[in-house]
């Protein structure tokens, strides 16, 4: 997944501020995701993995691995917890009420754990963003 940006500021620590063009979305899904809901232009500071002059257009790329990990966290973890909790509730009580209680309990636990996992995933994703000059 990629997005276009322009370097707006360079800092002494090697980081730089990019102005992301969120209006055009990314090349992966053509704006079906959250890019559409963001303001048309957003400024974000990135750690440096290259040296870019102020005003240069760049492309910010997100490795596909992190897109899959994020979707697994947002969709796979709660769904797996719901199904596994339902199975455990059925095994424990043997009736529909046990299934419901197990499924809801496991879902609540997965939703409680998700923010911490999401934070760790966002940190890892930010470290692996690739910024390269636009052609």
Asked if the structure places residue 133 within a domain, the reply is no
Are residue 52 and residue 6 in the same domain, yes or no?
yes
Mean pLDDT of the chain: 80
Using CA atoms, how far residue 86 sits from 81, 90, 108, 111, 113, in Å, is 8, 6, 12, 16, 18
pLDDT of residue 95: 93
Q: Which residue segment(s) compose the domain that 57 sits in?
A: 2-61
Are residue 37 and residue 16 in the same domain, yes or no?
yes
Asked if the structure places residue 31 within a domain, the reply is yes
Are the beta carbons of 18 and 60 closer than 8 angstroms? Answer: yes
Asked if the structure places residue 72 within a domain, the reply is yes
In tens, the pLDDT along 53-89 reads 888 888 888 778 888 888 888 889 999 999 999 999 9
Structure tokens at 27: 């090349």
Are residue 9 and residue 53 in the same domain, yes or no?
yes
Are residue 36 and residue 74 in the same domain, yes or no?
no
pLDDT score of 6 more than 90: no
CA quadruple 121, 126, 130, 133: dihedral sign: positive
Decide: pTM greater than 0.75.
Answer: no
pLDDT of residue 29: 58
pLDDT of residue 96: 93
């Amino acid at each position: 997944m990629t997005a276009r940006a322009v370097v707006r500021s360079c800092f002494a620590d090697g980081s730089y501020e990019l102005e992301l063009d969120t209006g055009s979305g990314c090349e992966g899904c053509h704006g079906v995701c959250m890019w559409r809901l963001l303001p048309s232009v957003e400024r974000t500071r990135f750690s440096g993995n290259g040296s870019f002059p102020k005003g240069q257009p760049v492309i910010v790329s997100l490795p596909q691995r992190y897109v899959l990990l994020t979707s697994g966290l947002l969709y796979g973890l709660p769904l797996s917890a719901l199904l596994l909790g339902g199975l455990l509730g059925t095994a424990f009580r043997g009736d529909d009420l046990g299934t419901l209680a197990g499924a809801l309990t496991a879902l609540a636990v997965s939703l409680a754990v998700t923010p911490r996992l999401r934070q760790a995933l966002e940190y890892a994703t930010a470290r692996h963003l690739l910024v390269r000059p636009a052609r």
